[in-house]
Structures are given as C-alpha cells and as structure tokens.
Structure 1
Amino acid sequence: MTVEFKGLRVVVAGLGLSGVSAARVLRELGAEVTVVDGGDSPALRSRVAELGVAAQLGDGETLPEGTELIVTSPGWPPTSPLFLAAEAAGVPIWGDVELAWQLRKPLAATGEPAPWLAVTGTNGKTTTVQMLASILTAAGKRTAAVGNVGVSVLDAVLAEEPYDVLAVELSSYQLHWAPSLRPHSAVVLNLAPDHLDWHGSMEAYAADKGRIYQGNQVACVYNLADPATEALVMEADVEEGCRAIGFGLGAPAPSNLGVVDGLLVDRAFAPDRQKNAAEIGAVEDVKPAAPHNITNALAAAALARAYGVDTKAVRDGLRAFTPDAHRIAQVAVVEGVTYVDDSKATNTHAAAASLAAYDPVVWIAGGLAKGATFDELVVGAAPRLRAAVLIGADRGLIREALARHAPDVPVIEAATGQTGAEAMAEIVRIAAAQAQPGDTVLLAPACASMDMFTNYGERGDLFAASVAALGE
C-alpha cells in the first residue's frame, strides 16, 4: 500500500454500490470519510447511517473543506463541478479501481500482489473476461472475473483468501480515474463511438481506453481488424520487453493468434513461433461460435498465454465457459425460423457484430440511441435484411438510415406507445409474420432499453417469453 489512509480526509462521490463499498473500506482503514451525493432521500440517509460516516446530501457540487482525496463512482463525469473544484485545489481524484490498485497485498508465494489481466473495449468485455477466468480456473489458478462484472475489484483485492491472478473488466469511466494502474497484460477488444457525452469526444474516449496499456509488463493485446486498437498499443509507455500481440479471424503471422481450418492457433507464445503454431482449441469449443465471439475467445486466450497458461487449459476453459443470458442466445426455432436474443447489443458496434453472424435476418431494432447514428450499421447489414421491425423512442433515426441505404427492405413499426410484456408480444408477432423458414429473427436493438423496459435483461426475457408463446 503506497498511501497512508489513517486520518486522511477523503470524499466519496456517489452512494451507489461502488461508493458504499469504497466508503466502508476507507472507514475501516481509518480515513475521515465524507460521502457526497446530489440526492437526498430517506434511503440515502439510511445508507449513510449504516456506514457511520459524515455526509453532504443534496449538494453534489461543493467540495467539502479540507478534502485531501476524492474517490468517485464511475458514473460521475470529469466535468462535474465537484471535480473541477478538486482539480483547482490540487486534490487527486481516484475511482474504485485506483483505490483497489493501491490496496493490493503481496502474495506469500511471490512477495508480489496478484497480477491483473485487464480487458476493455466498446463491446465484448464481459464475455472475454469471463472466458479468461474460465481458462485460468482450468489451469488450476484461484481467480475471479472482477471489476465491471462479477466480484467487485475492491472485494477481490481485500479477500481473506487471496487470488492467484485476477481477470479484470474495466470500463472507460474506470480507466479515466485509475492513474496508477499497471496491468500484467491487457487488451482493448475494439473501439467504436460510445459514452461520448461523458468523455466529450471520440479522441478522449479512445485515450481513456488506451490507459489500460500503460505500464504493461508482458503483453499488449490488440485486434488486428481494428487499427485503432493497435494505435493505442503504439502510443503506450510499457515495461521493457513487453510485446504487442494481435488476434484475428485469419491465419496468424508470428506474434499473433488466429484461426486455421477451424482451429484456434497461437503463434505468439508457441516455441519457435517463426515456423510453428500451437493449437489452443477449436472454433466449435466457442459458444456461440459467431465471428465476434471467436475473437473474444482469442483475446482471452492471448492474455492467458501471456500469463503462462498451457494450451490444454485454454481449450478446457473455453469448453467449460457458458455465456451470460442475452448475448446472441438462441431462444427457439419455431416453424423453421430461429429466434435469437442479443438484447445486450445496446450500441451500433455490438449490433453490427450480431447481424454479421446471421443471414437472412428479420431485425428488431430501436430504443434509446444515446446520441448514436445508424448509417454505417445499416450499410453493413442491408444485404442480410429480410425486414426490419422498429421499436422505441428513437426508431425514427433507424428508419431514416434504412430509407437512405436499404430502401428495398420492408420496415414495420411496432408497439407504438406500448411498454413491457404487451409491447414485446406485438413485436414478436410482427417479426414472425415477416420471417420465412431458414430466417433468423434477431433482437439486436443497437439502443438502450429504458424507454420501454426496465433494462436490457427484461427486454430479452420478454422476447424469450413471447417467442415461447408463439411456439405454443
């Protein structure tokens, strides 16, 4: 631990899950903690009372006097008045990831803290980090998928029984507030516009993603199909001897991982990689074996191999992995039509990857666009589309893109003014009427869900229920 927390006057910004966890840990370390939140409600006051710390509720903008450190929840943007005041006063700002990094403990076996294998990207983070944890488990390591998924990163570093190695999912928000982070190895899976309202620009968003490569010790892993990820590697200041490792769907060159004749192969960590490749699994070991999910598996394998995992553990870990719900999950086949739930595709980049896996497609799309544009997505998907069923508040943006770039594709608007189960039942009935045997009805909305559903999970669950009712 490089910081003495006892007596340190720390402000915790936000009383969500990460804020409550940070406040509790800091109090136990002896810090003088004040939680700051723009809200003020009986529930928040109860939370503060349970924590036993000072609080500034109803005012999320004023910097408490004497503050020496701010620990922020990920959602607070850098332009928050509280942070601007802190920067003017020279007060450092950390996120929960930075706090966890500072609190790492050395392992008895090595005398060093457990290494972090870190994953970020616009899409695929959770799947990749879970695949990585499955591979590490198959290699006999005590590990967990942590960070933006599974176990909180603070809980992981403070666990009574220490982990050998951590598979860490990191968002751009978390990376922005983690100045000291130096992973063993890391990957940026892909880069596409997202959260630009928080970051202010695509350049700022990419720069925060690129922070994951700073100080890498063994491998900076990048996507051969996304030159922006390689550019971030080239800009990173890394440890002497750290290697750039690419992954992609083609036959790999030396220092890359790829696919040959249905096999996943490694020419980065294999002996005599100039001439040889090591087989680390098969395409059929990846579930589901959609192209973007195969690249997720290769990225996870690259990090595991950088850590020293053998080829058998990579294969066994991929075979043992079961994806979360709502990620290109086949729901049912009804009268020759396949129904696929990819409700997790809440932005255009994720939807494009999903659409690329099926042909022909009846596409269910729409919701809250979060400032996105849809022309590029529609241009790529147009040849595959049987029809488009549009839903949600920002459906008009997708309708206009389809009119410009796919004017021959039938467009049907569904569930106008409806929400929840009633809306989804109508959406599925309309999509089914457009589909022919051999088609896929694909829920890949490219938008957030909260205008019609509680979250993407409810949207996917209701889709599955409506498909089941259709089958009956």
Structure 2
Amino acid sequence: MGSGQVTAPVASQSPEPYRFRGRRITVAGLGVSGVPAARALHGLGAHVTVVNDGDDERARAQAAELERLGITVRLGEQAASTLPEGTELVVTAPGWKPGKPLFAAAAQAGVPVWGDVELAWRLRGPDAPPWLAVTGTNGKTTTVRMLASILEAAGLRTAAVGNIGVSLLDAVLGDEHYDVLAVELSSYQLHWSSSLRAHSAAVLNLAPDHLDWHGSMEAYAADKGRVYEGNRVACVYNADATGKPSTEDLVREADVEEGCRAVGFTLGTPGPSQLGVVDGILVDRAFVEDRHRNAQELAEVADVDPPAPHNIANALAAAALARAYGVPAAAVRDGLRAFTPDAHRIAHVADVDGVSWVDDSKATNTHAAQASLAAYESIVWIAGGLAKGATFDELVASAAKRLRAVVLIGADRALIREALARHAPEVPVVDLDRTDTGAMLQAVQEARRLARPGDTVLLAPACASMDMFANYNRRGEAFARAVRELGA
C-alpha cells in the first residue's frame, strides 16, 4: 500500500441535488453550527423547526433571534426528543449523540439525518472549490492551519474551515471565492456525513477518544475513515502509526476514485509514495517523477515551529495534501516558515533560571500528552484533570525515563498517581489535593522547586480541564501567568 495505487469503484463527486424549498426540515441543536444551518435553510425556502435540549438564557436569546426570522424553535429535553410532525430531513449539530431519541424516531420514519458538513457539501455550487480534508485524534487544527499557510504561500485563495476558523456553511454560501479549502473534520462531523468526497484527505493518527460518544474504538475509527471515501487524488496516512486499525487500514477499506493514491508520511526515511525526513530535511518521494529513484527537498526541520516530533508529522501531512493539490516545493517551505502555532499547543512560555517552561494545555488526552512528553529529555510534568475514562499506564511507561518529577492536579489525578507507582516508582510525585483554579500557581511553584537547569517543566495534562477551568485555554493562561510571576 505504501508504494502504490488505491483502485476501487469510481465515486460520484456530486450527490443528487436536494430541493430545499417547501421542505419541512428539523435542525437539532442551536450553537455555532445549528444557528447558521437554520438561517441557511430558511433562506433556501425550507420550513425550519429547531429543537434544542437546553433551555438556558443563551438558548432563549438564540431562539428569539431565529423566531424573528420566522423560524420555529422548541426548547427543552422533551422538545429535543420528539420528531416534529411532517419532518422530511433532520440536520444535526455534530455533538448530538447517535443514540438520541430524536434520531431513533427519524430512523423509524425513514427520515435522513445530515450533519452540518453534509449540508455544506450539498449546498456547494457548480464552481465550488475542492476540499483538502484532515482528521485524526490529535493535531487536526495545527495541520489544517499549516496547510492553509502553505496554500497561501503558493498564491492560492484559501481558508482554514470546518471544525476551525470559518464555518463551512459560511465558506460555501459566502461571497468570498476560494481556489481550495483546508478543512478540519471531527469524528462527530464525519459520522453524519455520507456524500462528502474530498480532493484528498489525511487521517493523522488514531487513539481512543470520544468512545462514550461513538460506542467503541471500531466505530470511532470507522467514522474517521469516512474522510477517505471518494477521494480523487490522494489518501494520506501515517506510516509510523501502530495499533489496529491503523490509518493505512482505513485507506485500504475506502472506496475511492480510480487512480487515487495512498501516500504515507513518516518521521524516518521515506519509501516511494511517502514523505519523510532525511538528515534534517523534509523530503517528498510521492509527488515527483520516478519516485523510486528521486526525492524532492521541501523544507528543513528547523522551518517547523516547534520542531517536536509530532509537529513535524503534522507538517509532513500538510505538505502531502498541498503537494497532492500541485503546490510547488518552495511554497511548502515558505508556508511552514510563515506558520505561527496556536496558543497552548506545546508553546514555549519562558526560560527561568535555566529551566524551560512549556504550555501544552491542549494535550487533553493521553495520546496528545504522549507526543508532547516525547519531545523533551528531562521533564517536570504537570498533569491531571478530568480523565474522561482514560487509563494512564501506557503513557507513564513510555515517558518514565524522561521524568524528573511529576506534579498532579485535578479531580482524577489519583489515576495518574497509581500508574506512576506501577511504572515509575522512583519518580518524585507531588499530589496537590485541590481542584480550585489557584492550584495552578501552587503547581508551578512546586515544579520550580523540583526542576534543575536544563529541565523542561511541561504542562501536558492528559486530561480535560472542566473540573478546574472553563476550558483548556483558561488552564494554559493560568499556567503562563504563574510562570511569568516566577520570572518577574
């Protein structure tokens, strides 16, 4: 698979047009996707009813705004569980679980259910730009933003859209004309997408996440794999990935257009039809003449910010999608150099007394934390929060030799402490028995006491933040503030 073609039945790029005018359509959920969907469908002449299980102040304000347009809104758990009479189509917010009573009622009535991505795909015009799509457990946002930067460096009109930046509906229905779109897609969005057919797509990695929503790892992987269905040019996969199913397994199972190629990316020396790294250089052996003998230099590892292994993998995946679209090598280099990473993603905060302080608050699961920990040699690790059903043995065992010490915070810190006792019993552990926001300042003070010159103090919690903070951004901001107080 790493060197050849993926050949399968040709997939249609354009589903049958759906007539919206006069149709009775139910939109499930308000918020960032439901409100734009309801507005768009109403503008197309559909009779729209929005149902939402929340009935708080924000929901009522959004409902009032839509009702002024003539859209019916029903709030509350009962309303959100009942399929409005005469519904011909349900368009759902991506976060709604498949087991909701509304969807069972729709299935019983033979009513199709679309997500916001499926709706956007169906609403594209005849001259719509192609989509370069990215999914995976971790790294999606960074990869899509890298891809958009590379496309812009090539002089193309583009935007980072989907689960990031501009909403897909705005990109599809707005006045801005794009040459190509860099599209981030979550497993939730892909679950509700049946006719999406990307130009090329990448699955960056697969690790257990959101299993409470999908029901199993197999179902989660299958939803991720939907991004490859109908690809025209390239299915980009992680050649270094282990475990079953792998991203390459998902490529093998996909029905794609005739001639669509499997293109791998690796942190090692690439084989034919792969991108990889040779002597600190990112190279392409997929989109070159005679890929069995030739390679094209794309950029230096130093052009990737930060040059952590998992971020180099993100850059290779972005480069593969850009090259699949025909972007020249120089634009890959220029785009990576121009790219600035988002906050709280392995972000260097400060150096204090010879110790480097790094904020990776976005590492909200074990897979992300493992990648972050692998980037440094000697670490004082700040971890903990809401585990979301995760276990930590594999993470701790893989990082044990790198750990100088560990400071634990958050509601489920005991799970990490127990894994440390099993796999790294010699590593000093400070267990802060508190979940208030002020715990971060104490954690930083403890980390400073434990760190030695040359160490990295790394906030990579491996857990969600909501036990202590509104979101991972607030957690990272609290860490950065506390670090800056040290250097004041």
Q: Note whether the superposition's TM-score is higher than 0.5.
A: yes
- How far is 1:452 from its partner? 0.7
Matches within 5 A, 1:67-146: 67-107=87-127, 113-146=128-161
Q: Distance in 2 between matches of 1:373 and 1:216?
A: 35
Conserved 8 A contact 2:380-2:406: yes
Is residue 234 from structure 1 mapped to residue 249 from structure 2 by the alignment?
no
- How far is 1:49 from its partner? 2.4
Conserved 8 A contact 2:148-2:182: yes
Q: Distance in 1 between matches of 2:176 and 2:444?
A: 48
Q: Which amino acid aligns with 2:130?
A: P
Map of 2:434 onto structure 1: 417
Q: Distance in 2 between matches of 1:399 and 1:179?
A: 43
Map of 1:153 onto structure 2: 168
Q: Which amino acid aligns with 2:64?
A: A
Q: Distance in 2 between matches of 1:241 and 1:88?
A: 39
Which sections of structure 2, spanning at least 5 residues, go unmatched? 1-15
Conserved 8 A contact 1:172-1:209: yes
Conserved 8 A contact 2:203-2:247: yes
**Higher-RCO chain (CA-CA 8 Å, sequence separation at least 6):** 2
Q: Distance in 1 between matches of 2:397 and 2:86?
A: 55
Q: Distance in 1 between matches of 2:150 and 2:58?
A: 41
Map of 2:483 onto structure 1: 467
Conserved 8 A contact 2:362-2:460: yes
Conserved 8 A contact 2:411-2:435: no
Map of 2:306 onto structure 1: 288
Map of 2:457 onto structure 1: 441
Q: Distance in 1 between matches of 2:387 and 2:160?
A: 29
Conserved 8 A contact 2:204-2:237: yes
Is residue 427 from structure 1 mapped to residue 443 from structure 2 by the alignment?
yes
Conserved 8 A contact 1:11-1:34: yes
Q: Structure 1 length normalisation: TM-score?
A: 0.97
Map of 2:36 onto structure 1: 21
Map of 2:187 onto structure 1: 172
Q: Distance in 2 between matches of 1:90 and 1:405?
A: 52
Q: Structure 2 length normalisation: TM-score?
A: 0.94
Map of 1:63 onto structure 2: 83
Map of 1:338 onto structure 2: 356
Q: Distance in 1 between matches of 2:45 and 2:416?
A: 53
Conserved 8 A contact 2:147-2:182: yes
- How far is 1:434 from its partner? 0.6
Map of 2:397 onto structure 1: 379
When the two chains are superposed, the root-mean-square deviation of aligned CA atoms in Å is 0.9
Q: Distance in 2 between matches of 1:78 and 1:131?
A: 32
Q: Secondary structure at the match of 2:30?
A: coil
Map of 1:262 onto structure 2: 280
Q: Distance in 1 between matches of 2:436 and 2:338?
A: 37
Give the % identical residues.
Answer: 72
Map of 1:185 onto structure 2: 200
Q: Secondary structure at the match of 1:465?
A: helix
Map of 2:50 onto structure 1: 35
Q: Which amino acid aligns with 2:111?
A: V
Aligned residue among 409, 415, 426 for 1:397: 415
- How far is 1:43 from its partner? 3.5
Conserved 8 A contact 1:106-1:114: no
Map of 1:110 onto structure 2: none
Map of 2:290 onto structure 1: 272
Q: Which amino acid aligns with 2:120?
A: A
Q: Distance in 2 between matches of 1:292 and 1:100?
A: 31
